[in-house]
């Protein structure tokens, strides 16, 4: 993470000092004034291109909105790095350069004065209008639900190791990992930034949140700590053991997010703990029919699906035309064509009343969506640790600390005691 942050700092300095890319293929300053066509209301829109959502995606979706709302003119501002988007957005806000509308970011949402609140009337179309609220204010549209993580697996590699079905308990998962390792197959594909932490989040869903759903509130009030909570320690020890047994290959943590995805799709590991958005890339791959999905199993086999609802657009409190910015954000989030595109491009589950996914989605998306529906019907959803929103989230900056600590546990740089003490120390600094 140190190298990543150094690289990001350099990119950020360059981006703030020079320009931000526009989706039109040229280069356009994120702060320099530009003229709008007569009768147009201009809105600047900060996006974070990723493997699933390149700049061409954002441009196409914005074009759909402006076609339906010809009074709007939207300037796309692309961040230099998707992986450190929280830091980038906070830096823009601190320097007075935050665009009018942004993809939701938890650290930015936590800095409440930066964002304009949404009224109850503006949120009537959303299934969970209070999700992610900060001090009773909704600052980010609660547009999408994601399950984080699922466990995607390569059916052929399971068969190679003599595994006929996904594991139902954690003991079975460990036994399967040992079988895979014995056949020379890496059990879990891992990588840098947030990817390494995915198994830890899954373990915390079962060992911590399934038993204490309000644990984060207790940590915020000081009634719980990382180092002294038995359930948190148990999940962390299990995570460290996965690396110690060689089920997570520490040599992979130098890979970036796109490389981890490529590695799994290339058969370089049997299981890929990842958010539901991976289903979009999986369904575009040649091996889509060989990819299955299951929920990370608990000790007793009961289902606990880590889930996040939020992820929508937010509007800057300093937007030059707040009404136009909100009009664009709502139109972008509620237009059916855009919602369908988000399902196909990023495997999102739109949390919009009356919405159903397109019938022509791929097999991996359908399996992932069905797994979430099963959890919903069984009342088996729990928060996804480090992905929570609003008042239920970690303090600003702690998400990145959690992710970097996961890498330190896998690499052996920190043992469990050191990792948990580090998180407590950093929490106190953040508070």
How far is it, in rounded angstroms, from Cα 236 to Cα 367?
29
The helix or strand, by DSSP H or E, that contains position 350, with its residue range, turns out to be strand 349-350
Domain 149-274+394-430 superfamily per CATH: Periplasmic binding protein-like II (3.40.190.10)
How far is it, in rounded angstroms, from Cα 169 to Cα 146?
23
Task: Report the pLDDT value the prediction gives residue 68, as an integer from 0 to 100.
Answer: 95
Region 305-332: mean pLDDT is 94
CATH node for 2-146+309-360: 3.40.190.10
Q: What value does the CA radius of gyration of the chain take, rounded to a whole number of Å?
A: 21
Task: Report the pLDDT value the prediction gives residue 101, as an integer from 0 to 100.
Answer: 95
* Closest to 146 (Cα-Cα) out of 332, 298, 350, 364: 350
Q: How confident is the model at residue 53 (pLDDT cuts 50, 70, 90)?
A: confident
Task: Report the pLDDT value the prediction gives residue 106, as an integer from 0 to 100.
Answer: 65
Task: Report the pLDDT value the prediction gives residue 80, as an integer from 0 to 100.
Answer: 77
Burial class of residue 373, CB neighbours in 10 A (0-12, 13-18, 19+): exposed
How far is it, in rounded angstroms, from Cα 89 to Cα 399?
15
Res 427 pLDDT > 60: yes
Task: Report the pLDDT value the prediction gives residue 279, as an integer from 0 to 100.
Answer: 97
How far is it, in rounded angstroms, from Cα 108 to Cα 397?
10
How far is it, in rounded angstroms, from Cα 103 to Cα 18?
22
Listed range (2-11, 35-44, 169-178, 240-249) with the worst mean pLDDT: 2-11
Task: Report the pLDDT value the prediction gives residue 84, as an integer from 0 to 100.
Answer: 65
Task: Report the pLDDT value the prediction gives residue 33, as an integer from 0 to 100.
Answer: 38
Res 22 pLDDT > 60: no
Res 108 pLDDT > 70: no
List the beta bridge partners of residue 115.
316
How far is it, in rounded angstroms, from Cα 29 to Cα 78?
10
The helix or strand, by DSSP H or E, that contains position 257, with its residue range, turns out to be helix 257-265
Backbone angles phi, psi at 3, to 5 degrees: -65, -45
Task: Report the pLDDT value the prediction gives residue 242, as an integer from 0 to 100.
Answer: 98
Please tell me what DSSP assigns to residue 295: P
Pairing of strands 313-315, 101-103: antiparallel
> What is the reported pTM?
0.81
How far is it, in rounded angstroms, from Cα 340 to Cα 112?
30
Mean pLDDT of the chain: 88
Which tokens belong to 201?
A: 């989040």
Res 36 pLDDT > 70: no
How far is it, in rounded angstroms, from Cα 181 to Cα 187?
6
Query: 263 to each of 114, 132, 271, 376, how far by Cα in Å?
Result: 38, 33, 11, 31
The proportion of the chain whose per-residue pLDDT surpasses 70, expressed as a percent, equals: 88
Domain assignments of the chain as residue spans, ordered by start: 2-146+309-360, 149-274+394-430
Q: Cis link prior to 149 (omega < 30° from 0)? A: yes
Region 242-254: mean pLDDT is 94
Q: How confident is the model at residue 48 (pLDDT cuts 50, 70, 90)?
A: confident
Task: Report the pLDDT value the prediction gives residue 361, as an integer from 0 to 100.
Answer: 96
Region 37-59: mean pLDDT is 87
Q: How confident is the model at residue 405 (pLDDT cuts 50, 70, 90)?
A: very high
Task: Report the pLDDT value the prediction gives residue 220, as an integer from 0 to 100.
Answer: 95
Res 12 pLDDT > 50: no
Which tokens belong to 132?
A: 């992610």
Q: How confident is the model at residue 103 (pLDDT cuts 50, 70, 90)?
A: confident
Res 2 pLDDT > 70: no
Q: How confident is the model at residue 81 (pLDDT cuts 50, 70, 90)?
A: low
How far is it, in rounded angstroms, from Cα 212 to Cα 94?
36
Task: Report the pLDDT value the prediction gives residue 29, as an integer from 0 to 100.
Answer: 33
**pLDDT, tens digit, for every residue of 171-209?**
999 999 999 999 999 999 999 889 999 999 999 999 999
Task: Report the pLDDT value the prediction gives residue 78, as an integer from 0 to 100.
Answer: 85
Is the Cβ–Cβ distance between 314 and 140 less than 8 Å?
Answer: yes
Listed range (102-106, 320-324, 346-350, 426-430) with the worst mean pLDDT: 102-106
* Closest to 16 (Cα-Cα) out of 82, 83, 94: 94
Helix runs in 75-141, H state only: 85-94, 106-110
Res 15 pLDDT > 80: no
Task: Report the pLDDT value the prediction gives residue 134, as an integer from 0 to 100.
Answer: 87
**pLDDT, tens digit, for every residue of 366-395?**
999 999 999 999 999 999 999 998 889 999
Please report the sign of the dihedral spanned by the C-alpha atoms of residue 246, residue 250, residue 253, residue 254.
Answer: negative
Region 246-252: mean pLDDT is 94
Region 259-269: mean pLDDT is 96
Listed range (71-80, 120-129, 177-186, 325-334) with the worst mean pLDDT: 71-80
Task: Report the pLDDT value the prediction gives residue 28, as an integer from 0 to 100.
Answer: 35
Task: Report the pLDDT value the prediction gives residue 49, as an integer from 0 to 100.
Answer: 84
Which tokens belong to 13?
A: 């300095």
Region 116-122: mean pLDDT is 95
Domains 2-146+309-360 and 149-274+394-430 fall in the same CATH topology: yes
Q: How confident is the model at residue 330 (pLDDT cuts 50, 70, 90)?
A: very high
């Amino acid at each position: 993470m140190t190298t990543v942050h150094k690289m990001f700092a350099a990119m950020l300095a360059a981006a703030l000092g020079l320009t931000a890319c526009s989706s039109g293929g040229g280069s356009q300053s994120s702060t320099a004034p530009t003229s709008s066509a007569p009768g147009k209301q201009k809105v600047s829109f900060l996006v974070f291109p990723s493997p699933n959502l390149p700049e061409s995606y954002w441009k196409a979706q914005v074009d759909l909105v402006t076609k339906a709302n010809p009074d709007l003119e939207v300037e796309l501002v692309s961040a230099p790095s998707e992986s450190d988007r929280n830091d980038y957005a906070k830096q823009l806000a601190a320097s007075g350069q935050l665009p009018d509308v942004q993809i939701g970011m938890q650290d930015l949402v936590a800095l409440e004065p930066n964002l304009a609140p949404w009224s109850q009337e503006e949120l009537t179309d959303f299934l969970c209008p209070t999700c992610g609220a900060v001090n009773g204010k909704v600052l980010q549209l609660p547009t999408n639900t994601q399950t984080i993580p699922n466990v995607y697996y390569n059916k052929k590699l399971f068969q190679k190791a003599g595994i006929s079905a996904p594991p139902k308990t954690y003991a079975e998962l460990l036994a399967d990992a040992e079988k895979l390792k014995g056949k020379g197959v890496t059990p879990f594909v891992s990588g840098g930034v947030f990817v390494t932490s995915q198994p830890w989040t899954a373990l915390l869903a079962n060992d911590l949140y399934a038993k204490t759903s309000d644990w984060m509130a207790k940590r915020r009030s000081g009634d719980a700590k990382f180092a002294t909570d038995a359930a948190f320690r148990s999940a962390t020890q299990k995570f460290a053991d996965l690396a110690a047994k060689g089920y997570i290959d520490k040599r992979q943590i130098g890979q970036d997010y796109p490389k981890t995805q490529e590695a799994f799709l290339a058969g370089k590991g049997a299981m890929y703990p990842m958010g539901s958005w991976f289903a979009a890339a999986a369904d575009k791959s040649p091996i889509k029919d060989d990819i299955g999905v299951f929920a990370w199993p608990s000790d007793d086999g009961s289902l606990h699906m880590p889930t996040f609802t939020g992820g929508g657009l937010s509007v800057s409190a300093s937007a030059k035309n707040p009404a136009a910015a909100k009009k664009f954000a709502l139109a972008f989030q509620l237009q059916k064509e855009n919602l369908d595109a988000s399902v196909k491009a990023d495997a999102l589950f739109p949390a919009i009343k009356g919405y159903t996914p397109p019938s022509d989605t791929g097999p991996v998306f359908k399996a992932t969506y069905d797994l979430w529906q099963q959890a919903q019907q069984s009342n088996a959803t729990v928060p996804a640790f480090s992905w929570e929103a609003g008042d239920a989230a970690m303090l600003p900056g702690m998400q990145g600390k959690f992710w970097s600590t996961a890498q330190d546990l896998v690499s052996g740089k920190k043992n469990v005691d050191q990792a948990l003490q580090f998180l407590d120390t950093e929490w106190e600094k953040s508070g």
